[in-house]
Structure 1
Amino acid sequence: MQRDKLRYGEMAARGGKAALTREGRDGYFADRDQDRKGAGATRPGSRFDSQTRLLLLVNALFGAANALSGTFVNVYLWKAKSDFALIGWFAFAHQVTMALTFWAAGKWVKEHNKMNSLRLGVAISAVFYTIVLVLQQQAVHYVWLLGAVQGLSSGFFWLAFNVVYFEVTSPENRDRFNGWAGLLGSGIGMIAPWISGWLITGMPGTNGYRLIFAISLGVFVVGVVFSFFLKKRKVPGTYEWAHGYRTLAQRRGPWKTVFGALVAQGIREGVFGFLIGLMVYIATSNEMKIGNFSLITSAVALFSFYAVGKWLKPAYRKGGMIVGVLAMILVIVPFFWQVSYATLLVFGIGTALFIPLYTVPMTSSVFDIIGQDRESAEHRVEYVVLRELGLNFGRMLGTLAFIAVVSWSTAPHVINWLLLGIGSSPLLVWLLMRNKLVPVQFGKSR
C-alpha cells in the first residue's frame, strides 16, 4: 500500500525527489528509528514504542485533571453570575492568550528544552486551579485573569505536546495514536466528570467545587513527574518568527488551504467546547446530570475512537470524514424542537459516535503534511505554531460571534440558529481538506 512506502528521509537538493535511504536519515529521524529498534518493532512505525506510550499517559493525566474540573469551571462562574457573554469572554481570554503563547514560546521550544514548556503548561494549570480556590465566589470578577492563565497553560502544554507527538509518530501509526488518545480521553471523560458531579451534589455549598479543583491540582503534579521520562530531541536550526507568514504568502503549496481549514475547524471548537456542558446544567440545574451526560457520551466515544483508530486507513479518510461531518450537523437539528436533557443527549451521543471520523483524519493529515519531507520536518515547531494559530483564530471568531449574538438576544430560537451555523463549519473543513487527506510519497504535491 502507498502508506507503507512512506519514509521520513532526505530530499534531493531542491530537486523534489525523495531519497528514501537509511543513510539519509539524521537528527530526529535517527532518534526515532533508534527508539523503535529499542522497542523491538518489526515494522517501523507500526507499533508504539515506550516514548509513544509515555506521551499517551501524560496526555491522559492532563486530560483527566481538566475533565475533573474543566466543564465545572464554567458552571461555577454561571452560578455566580448567569451571563452568557461573561462565559464567552472567559473563553475568549483563554483563546487569545493561548495563540500568543504558541507564537512566543516557539523560540523556546525549538532552541531550548521543549519538555520544560510541557511541564510549565501543566504547572500553570495547577496555578489556575489554585487561583480559583483562593478567589472562590469572587472568581467571577476576574474572568480575564483566569482565562489568560488558562490560555498560558494550554499554549505551553499543547505546543510542546504536538511537537513531541509529531516526533514519536509517523504516517503508519498516526491514525492509531489519535484513536488511542481519543479512546483514553473518552474513558477519562466517562469517569472524571461523573465523580465531580457526584462530589459537588453530595457536599454542601461550594465545598465540592473546591475539592475537585484541589484534586485536579494534584493530578497535574503527577503529570509533571511523568513528563521527566519523555526524551528530549534536539530540533535543528533557529526559530524563524516569520516562517508562518512566508508559508501562507507562497502561491504554491498546501498551507493556504490547510490554514483556512484549521480556522474553520476552530470556529466550532471555540464555542461548543464551553457551551454544551453549560447547556446541560441550564436545562437540568443539576451538576450530577452533567456527570451522567459525560458518562454516557464518553462511553459512546470510547467505542467509536477505538473503531476509527483500528479500522480507518488513510485511503478511507475522505469518505469517513464527510460522513462524520454530516452526522455532526444533523444532530443539532433536534434543538429546534426543544432544548432539553433528552435532545442534548441525542446531540451528545450522535457527536460522540461520529466526531472521530472528523477529528482523526484532520489531525493526522495536517501532521502528515508537516512531515512530508526533511526540510518541512525541520521546521516542525514553526508549522505546529502555524497550525495552532489557525485553530485559535477560528476559536476566537466563533466565540466573538457567540458573544455578539447573546449580547443581542438569548432567545432559544436565536441560540439554536447560532449553534447550527457554527456547528456547520466542519463542512467547510472537509471541502478545503478533501484532496489532502491521504498521505503521498515525498516529492509529490497534494
Structure 2
Amino acid sequence: MIKWISRWRDSRAAAVAPENRLSPDAVTVLALHGFYSFGTAMAGVFLNLYLWRLTNDLFLNGMYNIIVFFVTPVFFVICGYWAKTRDRLLVYRIGVVLTALFYLAVIAAGSNVAEFAYVFAVLNGIANGFYWLGYLTLQFDISTNQNRMRFLGFNLIMVNGAGLAGPALAGFIIANGEGLQGYTIVFSLAFVMFLAASIGSLKLRSHPSHHKAYYLKYTLLMARKSRIWSRVLLVWFIFGLLNGAMLFIPNILLLQVFGKEDSVGYIGMLFTGITIITSYLFSRRANPANIKLYCAVTAIFYALSVSLLFLQLSVWTVIGFLALYGVCFPIQFNALSAYNFRVMSSMPLKGGFRVEAIAVREITLSAGRILSIFGIILLSDNLSSAAIPGILLAAALAQLFIIGLVRKL
C-alpha cells in the first residue's frame, strides 16, 4: 500500500505546488492508518452490533460507548506526558499493538464479551488513547500549514476507502457464518490488520520531542492568553454532541430497518462512497478562508437530514439521513481539523504545546460525545423512541453555534 501511494504521489507531483506535496513520512503514515482503519472498519463497526445481537440492550451499548469516550481522553493526558518526555512514535506504536491485543481478547472471550462489556470498554479506551494521541501528534508534525488540508483530505479518503470495503467484507462473512462464528472471523482478520500496521510502523523515523516539559497544568492560563484556542475547545465540544451519537446509533438503525448484518455492510458502502467523493473534492478545492461558510452549510444540512427521521423509521428515511450526513461530515471535520492545527501553530509556545493541545481537545470532544450518548440512553429505552431524533436534531442545530466561534486566520 505504501509503494502504491508513493507511485500515485509521484505521478501527481508535477501538478501540485512543491509546498503542497506530501513527504515520504506522510505517505507512510497515511498507508499505516489505512491498515488501522480497515481493521476498525471491519471490527469496530460490528463490535457494537455484536453487543446488540447478544443483549438487544440500548443502555448497555450506550454505556459501553460512554466508558470508551471517558477513558480515551484520560489516556490522552497520560500518553501526552510520555509523548513529550520520550517519543510520540513510541506512543503510536504501543497504540497499534494494544488495539491488536484488544481484538485478540475479544476473540478469546467470545459471547462472554457482553458479560464483561464495561471491562472491554476500558481496554478499548486505553488502546484508543495511545493510538490517537500518537497519530494526531504525527499528523501535526508531518504536515504543514500549506499542505495540511491536502493531507487531511487524503487521510479521510484512506479512512473511508477502508470503510467502503471493510464493513461489506465483514457483513458478508458474518452473514455466511453459523451463529456468531462470523464475528469471530471478522475480529481475527482485524487482528491481522493491526499486526501488519504495527510492523509497518517500524519504517517511520523516530522524532524525539525537543520540548520535554509537559505544560498540561498551564491549560487554563493558555486558554486565557489565547482566547481563540479556548473558542476552538468549545467548537470541539459542540462537534462532539452530534459526533458521539453518530458513532453508535447509525449502524443499529440500519440493522433495525434491514434486519441483516450483510445489508448493513453493503448499504454502508454507499455512504462511505459519498464521503470519499466529498473528501476528494473538498481536498482539491478547500479554501481555509471559507471556514464559516463550511460550518454554516454543514449545520443546516445536518438539521435537514435528521428531520427525515421524524417522518418515520424506514429504509428510505434512514438512507436519506445517513447520505446527507455522509456529504456534510468530511467537509465539517476536515475544515475544523485544519483550522485547529492553524490555531495551534499561532499559540504561545507554538509547537511546544501541541501535544497538550491535542490532549485537551480530546477531553472537550469526548465530553460532547458523552453528553449526547447519555441523553439518548436516559431519555429513550428503544430505537423507536421519538427522543432519539429529537436529541439528534438538537445536536445538529447546536452546530450552528460553531459559526460564531471560528475566526479567519
Q: Same fold (TM over 0.5)?
A: yes
Give distance in 1, aligned partners of 2:31 and 2:226: 39
- 2:314 paired with 1:340: yes
2:372/2:391 contact within 8 Å kept: no
Once structures 1 and 2 are overlaid, which stretch shifts more, 411-420 or 109-118? 411-420
Residue 52 of structure 1 and its aligned partner are, at CA, apart by: 0.8
Structure 2 matches for 1:195-210, cutoff 5 A?
A: 195-210=169-184
Residue 414 of structure 1 and its aligned partner are, at CA, apart by: 2.1
Give distance in 2, aligned partners of 1:420 and 1:232: 45
- 2:365 paired with 1:381: no
2:217 corresponding residue in structure 1: 242
Kindly tell me the number of residue pairs found equivalent between the two proteins. 396
Secondary structure at the residue paired with 1:141? coil
- 2:252 paired with 1:284: no
2:295/2:400 contact within 8 Å kept: no
1:367-417, Cα deviation, whole Å (9 max, x unpaired): 11111267221211111111111111111222222221125x764322221
- 2:184 paired with 1:194: no
Residue 290 of structure 1 and its aligned partner are, at CA, apart by: 0.8
1:149 corresponding residue in structure 2: 123
Give distance in 2, aligned partners of 1:345 and 1:411: 16
Give distance in 2, aligned partners of 1:253 and 1:340: 45
Residue 321 of structure 1 and its aligned partner are, at CA, apart by: 2.6
- 2:71 paired with 1:125: no
Residue 179 of structure 1 and its aligned partner are, at CA, apart by: 0.8
2:9 corresponding residue in structure 1: none
Give distance in 2, aligned partners of 1:129 and 1:70: 9
1:353 to 327, 334, 350: 327
- 2:25 paired with 1:51: yes
If each structure's helix is expressed as a fraction of its own residues, which one has the higher value?
A: 2
1:323/1:357 contact within 8 Å kept: no
Give distance in 2, aligned partners of 1:349 and 1:40: 35
Give distance in 2, aligned partners of 1:373 and 1:131: 41
Residue 149 of structure 1 and its aligned partner are, at CA, apart by: 0.8
AA aligned to 1:136 is: G
1:90/1:144 contact within 8 Å kept: yes
2:302 to 320, 328, 337: 328
2:89/2:207 contact within 8 Å kept: no
Secondary structure at the residue paired with 2:297? helix
1:256 to 230, 238, 244: 230
1:418 to 391, 395, 408: 391
Residue 252 of structure 1 and its aligned partner are, at CA, apart by: 5.1
1:324/1:356 contact within 8 Å kept: no
Give distance in 1, aligned partners of 2:230 and 2:348: 20
1:319 corresponding residue in structure 2: 293
Give distance in 1, aligned partners of 2:373 and 2:308: 23
Give distance in 2, aligned partners of 1:257 and 1:47: 30
Give distance in 2, aligned partners of 1:43 and 1:83: 53
2:243 to 269, 276, 292: 269
1:301/1:353 contact within 8 Å kept: yes
- 2:406 paired with 1:428: no
Residue 129 of structure 1 and its aligned partner are, at CA, apart by: 1.1
Residue 336 of structure 1 and its aligned partner are, at CA, apart by: 0.8
AA aligned to 1:258 is: V
Secondary structure at the residue paired with 1:423? helix
AA aligned to 2:219 is: G
Segments ≥4 residues shifted beyond 6 Å: 39-42
Give distance in 1, aligned partners of 2:288 and 2:125: 33
Give distance in 1, aligned partners of 2:151 and 2:63: 33
2:100/2:194 contact within 8 Å kept: yes
Residue 418 of structure 1 and its aligned partner are, at CA, apart by: 1.8
Secondary structure at the residue paired with 1:339? coil
AA aligned to 1:420 is: L
1:92 corresponding residue in structure 2: 66
Once structures 1 and 2 are overlaid, which stretch shifts more, 348-357 or 287-296? 348-357
Aligned CA distance change for structure 1 residues 137 and 252 (closer, same or farther; 3 Å) = closer
Once structures 1 and 2 are overlaid, which stretch shifts more, 398-407 or 322-331? 398-407
AA aligned to 2:393 is: L
Secondary structure at the residue paired with 1:224? helix
1:97-151, Cα deviation, whole Å (9 max, x unpaired): 1011011111100110211211111111112211211221111111111111111
TM value normalised by structure 2: 0.92
Residue 89 of structure 1 and its aligned partner are, at CA, apart by: 0.5
1:7 corresponding residue in structure 2: none
1:176 to 150, 153, 172: 150
Larger Rg: 1
Aligned CA distance change for structure 1 residues 307 and 42 (closer, same or farther; 3 Å) = closer
1:263-283, Cα deviation, whole Å (9 max, x unpaired): 111111111101111111122
Secondary structure at the residue paired with 2:116? helix
**Is there any run of 5+ residues in structure 2 with no aligned partner, and where?**
1-12
Aligned CA distance change for structure 1 residues 42 and 414 (closer, same or farther; 3 Å) = closer
1:325/1:355 contact within 8 Å kept: no
Give distance in 2, aligned partners of 1:375 and 1:41: 35
1:233-283, Cα deviation, whole Å (9 max, x unpaired): 2322311231323223x1653122111111111111111101111111122
Give distance in 2, aligned partners of 1:299 and 1:136: 32
Secondary structure at the residue paired with 1:263? helix
Residue 206 of structure 1 and its aligned partner are, at CA, apart by: 1.0
